[in-house]
A and B are shown apart, each in its own frame.
Chain A
Amino acid sequence: MANNNPLAETTFVQSGDTRRSAKISRETISAIAVAVLCVVLLLGARFVSPSLGSWSQVETVLILGSFLVVLSFGQGLVILSGGLDLSLPAMITLGGILATNWIGSSDPGAWYLLPIVLLVCAGVGFLTALGIVILRVPPFIMSLAMSIIVSSALLGYTKGTPRGAAPEMAIALMKGSVFGLPAPILFTIGFVILGWLIQSRSIFGRYLYAIGTNVEAARIAGVPVFTAQVLPYVLSATCAGLVGIMLVGYSNGATLRMGDDYLLPSIAAVVIGGSSILGGRGTFLGTVGGALLLTTLGTIISAIGLEFGLRTIIEGAIVLTALLLLREELFQKLGSLWK
């Protein structure tokens, strides 16, 4: 090297790359935040009314929350894959009405009809998916249309007044207890574990993340795109049908509007739980937190004794606020504070 080489004065810093990556992901922060908020709300509610925040109150929240947990699992899968399912209310009603009509309380031997009810729901979800994946109808239009078709068909089928009573199995599921614990809570715990395995640990779950991120890149990477796009709608419809059966067991009967109040919460639980509404991001545990948070809120609001209309307005406002607060920037901020 010549003396006037500019490199001569250059001292090299160590060549090891010492930069780090964020250890805590956006989804984790969200799940933790939602869980903490849940507990704070339950404890805080004690100051409003001493009866709140007790163990029995927690039990009520968990039982009521089980509907939303099951429902938002399906919705979460659809959203993860980059879609949206607006047919859930109709599918809940379908599940509930078929269960009361076909099985009823009189024939305990007809348990085998329950899986058939779920299969019918899955079939309807499959049709929705075909419209979206093959005919390329935008998800919200296709699922909304299917929702209207199913609701109208049910109206015709029941002639406006659903008959029948809750099947014993559904009642046992929602009202029974095992080892002193309420059956619906045990069921929900099992469901959450299964759901977590499917979304975060199964090959199918990985495929959903992939197609929700970028369908074209996923196709080139060898992901079975068709299956991965269709299956979430099938599962979502099945979960909604199951929620219908659970609701029937809980309230001893089906109505034509039994699913109406669940659409926005099913989407809100997913988004509050940290998932991206555009797909490709999110965890089921976050969604479970979101579902429980929404249920806690609902319980507290009704315990305070507000009118139903007012209650809905407050719920809507809280959901909107949560969505605004939980946007991307907040997580970047939190992530940078963490290091």
Chain B
Amino acid sequence: MTGAVAVAGGEAVPGAALELRAEGVCKSYGATVALEHADIALQAGEVHALLGENGAGKSTLVRILTGAVTPDAGRMYLHGAAYTPHSITDARAVEVATAFQELSLVPNLSVAQNLLLPRLASSRSGLISRADVLAKGREILLRHDLERIDPAAEVARLPLSDRQRIEIARAAENAGRVLILDEPSASLAETDWLFAQVENAKARGVAILYISHRLAEVRAICSVATVLRNGRSIATVDLDDASDGDIFEMMVGHRVDPARPAARSTSGPREARVAVTDIAGSELNGVSFDLNAGEVLGVAALEGQGQRELFRCLAGVQKPEAGEIRIDGRPASYRSPRQALRFGSGVSYLPEERKTEGILAGLSAATNVVLPFLPRISRAGMVGQGREVSAAQDAANAVEMNPRYLTFPIGELSGGNQQKALMARTLASGAKTLLLFDPTRGVDVGTKESIYAAISAFADEGGSVLFYSSELPEIVQLADRCLVLYGGRVFESFSGEDINEQRLVAAMIGHHDATGQEATR
């Protein structure tokens, strides 16, 4: 401990009650030090941001504050009294509740059951009444403006965004004193609902800890921010006094050049590498488009407009019910991601859910990167860690992943580094077409820039990229062309200079920008 940490947050809002305070907490997993020394103080009725690069220790601090993890050292106080939760339930008993980034809902239970867990409404007989549960669930949904969600619906069948909303609503419902929101907007395309929930909690005098990579969002809703770097809390600052540059500097330790890369040249002869004609499925109602060689095609949409199914069909994870996909002019006959990878010039897929579809937690990051093309790097069918690491090195460099991490089990890395490894895998697969579903989800500023650069470089070398993003600035910056999906169809498409946030937003909610008329759907 160098004593170089300045904490100014304790007195940030004069007169407000100090709600939750942590001093010098630290946590190691085995020999991996996840959090070295963190101080934070949350005030009642204040929204406090927690900022930091991937792997800075944000998630660990959150897990400590919520009782999911017991710190190795350090003290915590809630309302002046010592606060030592041994489980999430402990924390909730003293009205500290959390909406987790990796949602903590039970997929095969109903919305209402999930909202009421761990204590389902039970009658005097001790049995659980289904009707009671539904009624109470409906009440909670109503209180959080989610009456459109059926309390009896099975959680697994809801789109990710609604699952996230339920996770947030449940936390807000249980948070009498402290509400912790870990990347609450990661799967939400718009933040109005989320901000309303935060304002509500704030008005009730709840102290709120808000973790997000989106600085604009943080500025809109938070007043104070604590910055973590390499497992230490660097500073707590008043957001009105700190510029974006100041904050980036605190996060990464040096200034980040905000200049955007120049637009890629989009001229030159092209050939259609992927041709999609009228594909349809449960969420898709006939989507057609071409993707050319050397092109970055963006997909913008609100959640649940069919983008997930579109990507899964193209990747070979599921089969479209109708329509045709051609790769290099040949009808795509592949029926698995493995075959897709080897079909024609190859199709490689970066899936949506990192934890359940992406990483293989127990294996090293290097194995995770080279898994799709192991035969290529093996000698007589044999591979070793050395071989894997050297094969993954270039790809790791391309996304600016510290090669040191390659030998670590990927499950021990931070979310951002896991995402980098998956991105590296997709790039290194050798496929000429990349399908990237939200490639920068939960990733910090510096990592984003390196992923953007890798995507651009890939396209410059003649590769084709189809990517969906929940962040519009990303599409504006990267895409040569952009499709807006709405109701399972291509609602509008833009190219070049026409891609700007206002027009995309209008199209995403079903307005034709030119005429202003409402879409008929």
**Interface residue stretch chosen among A46-54, A59-67, A213-221, A298-306:** A213-221
User: CA–CA, A294 to B374, complex, Å?
Assistant: 36
Given A11-B4, A214-B361, A220-B315, 15 new contacts (CB under 8 A): A7-B242, A7-B249, A9-B8, A10-B235, A13-B229, A13-B234, A15-B230, A17-B230, A22-B29, A23-B31, A206-B383, A217-B351, A221-B371, A224-B338, A225-B338
Known: A5-B241, A201-B382. A220 touches B8 (CB 8 A): no
- Across the interface, name the chain B residue whose C-beta is closest to A222: B372
Q: Tell yes or no: A317 within 8 A of B by CB.
A: no
Q: Tell yes or no: B158 within 8 A of A by CB.
A: no
- Across the interface, name the chain A residue whose C-beta is closest to B368: A221
Instruction: Identify A204's interface contact among B234, B250, B381, CB under 8 A.
Output: B381
Pair B336/A219 contact, Cβ less than 8 Å: yes
Distance (whole angstroms) from the CB of A197 to the closest CB of chain B: 7
Pair B252/A6 contact, Cβ less than 8 Å: no
Q: Which residues of A contact B36 (CB under 8 A)?
A: 19
Q: Which residues of A contact B231 (CB under 8 A)?
A: 19
Distance (whole angstroms) from the CB of A263 to the closest CB of chain B: 26
Q: Tell yes or no: B253 within 8 A of A by CB.
A: yes
Between A and B, 23 residue pairs with Cβ closer than 8 Å are A6-B238, A7-B237, A7-B242, A9-B8, A13-B4, A17-B230, A17-B402, A203-B378, A204-B381, A206-B374, A209-B363, A213-B362, A217-B351, A217-B359, A217-B360, A218-B371, A219-B338, A221-B371, A281-B362, A336-B28, A336-B31, A338-B30, A339-B31
Pair B33/A20 contact, Cβ less than 8 Å: yes
Pair A335/B235 contact, Cβ less than 8 Å: no
Known: A6-B8, A221-B425. A216 touches B230 (CB 8 A): no
How many chain B residues have a CB neighbour from A under 8 Å? 65
Residues 221-235 of B contacting A (Cβ, < 8 Å): 229-232, 234-235
Q: Tell yes or no: A289 within 8 A of B by CB.
A: no
Pair B349/A220 contact, Cβ less than 8 Å: yes
Pair A216/B250 contact, Cβ less than 8 Å: no
- Across the interface, name the chain B residue whose C-beta is closest to A16: B230
Instruction: Identify A21's interface contact among B31, B237, B349, CB under 8 A.
Output: B31
Pair B381/A202 contact, Cβ less than 8 Å: yes
Q: Tell yes or no: B32 within 8 A of A by CB.
A: yes
Pair B336/A19 contact, Cβ less than 8 Å: no
The proximity string for A residues 188-212 relative to B, scoring 1 for CB distances below 8 Å and 0 otherwise, is 0000000001000111101101100
Q: Which residues of B contact A22 (CB under 8 A)?
A: 29-32
Q: Which residues of A contact B235 (CB under 8 A)?
A: 6-7, 10
Q: Tell yes or no: B159 within 8 A of A by CB.
A: no
Q: Which residues of A contact B349 (CB under 8 A)?
A: 220
Residues 412-470 of B contacting A (Cβ, < 8 Å): 412, 425, 429
Pair A4/B241 contact, Cβ less than 8 Å: yes
Instruction: Identify B246's interface contact among A5, A25, A223, CB under 8 A.
Output: A5
Q: Tell yes or no: A56 within 8 A of B by CB.
A: no
Pair B230/A18 contact, Cβ less than 8 Å: yes
Q: Tell yes or no: A332 within 8 A of B by CB.
A: yes
Tell me how many residue pairs across A and B have CB atoms closer than 8 Å. 161
Q: Tell yes or no: B408 within 8 A of A by CB.
A: yes
Instruction: Identify B250's interface contact among A4, A10, A338, CB under 8 A.
Output: A10
The proximity string for B residues 22-62 relative to A, scoring 1 for CB distances below 8 Å and 0 otherwise, is 00000011111110100000000000000000010000000
Q: Tell yes or no: B384 within 8 A of A by CB.
A: yes
Which of A197, A203, A281 has its CB near the most chain B CB atoms (within 10 A)? A203
Q: Tell yes or no: A12 within 8 A of B by CB.
A: yes
Q: Tell yes or no: B367 within 8 A of A by CB.
A: yes
Distance (whole angstroms) from the CB of B441 to the closest CB of chain A: 16
Q: Tell yes or no: B142 within 8 A of A by CB.
A: no
Instruction: Identify A5's interface contact among B32, B242, B361, CB under 8 A.
Output: B242
User: CA–CA, A9 to B3, complex, Å?
Assistant: 13
Instruction: Identify B361's interface contact among A20, A213, A332, CB under 8 A.
Output: A213
User: CA–CA, A213 to B361, complex, Å?
Assistant: 7
Q: Report the 4 A-B pairs with minimum CB-CB distance, sorted nearest first.
A: A15-B253, A22-B30, A222-B372, A335-B30
Known: A13-B232, A220-B317. A201 touches B384 (CB 8 A): yes
User: CA–CA, A13 to B38, complex, Å?
Assistant: 13
Pair B238/A217 contact, Cβ less than 8 Å: no
Interface residues on A, range: 35 or more
Pair B356/A216 contact, Cβ less than 8 Å: yes
Pair B30/A332 contact, Cβ less than 8 Å: yes
Q: Which residues of A contact B336 (CB under 8 A)?
A: 219, 225
Q: Tell yes or no: B375 within 8 A of A by CB.
A: yes
Distance (whole angstroms) from the CB of A16 to the closest CB of chain B: 8
Instruction: Identify A15's interface contact among B5, B229, B402, B412, CB under 8 A.
Output: B229
Pair A206/B371 contact, Cβ less than 8 Å: yes
Q: Tell yes or no: A232 within 8 A of B by CB.
A: no
User: CA–CA, A4 to B30, complex, Å?
Assistant: 42
Which of B231, B359, B362, B407 has its CB near the most chain A CB atoms (within 10 A)? B362
Distance (whole angstroms) from the CB of A294 to the closest CB of chain B: 25
Q: Which residues of A contact B368 (CB under 8 A)?
A: 221
Instruction: Identify A13's interface contact among B2, B242, B246, B371, CB under 8 A.
Output: B2
Q: Which residues of A contact B506 (CB under 8 A)?
A: none
Q: Tell yes or no: A280 within 8 A of B by CB.
A: yes
Distance (whole angstroms) from the CB of B253 to the closest CB of chain A: 3
Distance (whole angstroms) from the CB of B131 to the closest CB of chain A: 34
User: CA–CA, A339 to B31, complex, Å?
Assistant: 6
Pair B357/A21 contact, Cβ less than 8 Å: no
User: CA–CA, A281 to B8, complex, Å?
Assistant: 46
Residues 339-379 of B contacting A (Cβ, < 8 Å): 341, 349, 351, 356-363, 367-368, 371-375, 378
Q: Tell yes or no: B337 within 8 A of A by CB.
A: yes
Q: Which residues of A contact B252 (CB under 8 A)?
A: 15
User: CA–CA, A2 to B36, complex, Å?
Assistant: 31
- Across the interface, name the chain A residue whose C-beta is closest to B361: A213
User: CA–CA, A5 to B341, complex, Å?
Assistant: 53
Q: Which residues of A contact B241 (CB under 8 A)?
A: 2, 4-6
Instruction: Identify B429's interface contact among A222, A280, A335, A336, CB under 8 A.
Output: A222
- Across the interface, name the chain A residue whose C-beta is closest to B351: A220
Q: Tell yes or no: B254 within 8 A of A by CB.
A: yes
Which of B33, B317, B412 has its CB near the most chain A CB atoms (within 10 A)? B33
Distance (whole angstroms) from the CB of A22 to the closest CB of chain B: 4
Q: Which residues of B contact A2 (CB under 8 A)?
A: 241
Instruction: Identify B338's interface contact among A7, A11, A206, A223, CB under 8 A.
Output: A223
Which of A12, A16, A197 has its CB near the most chain B CB atoms (within 10 A)? A12
Q: Tell yes or no: B322 within 8 A of A by CB.
A: no
Known: A22-B32, A216-B356. A222 touches B362 (CB 8 A): no
Pair B360/A210 contact, Cβ less than 8 Å: yes
Q: Tell yes or no: B6 within 8 A of A by CB.
A: yes
Distance (whole angstroms) from the CB of A315 to the closest CB of chain B: 30
Q: Which residues of A contact B29 (CB under 8 A)?
A: 22, 332
Distance (whole angstroms) from the CB of A29 to the closest CB of chain B: 10
Q: Which residues of B contact A204 (CB under 8 A)?
A: 381
Instruction: Identify B30's interface contact among A21, A206, A224, CB under 8 A.
Output: A21
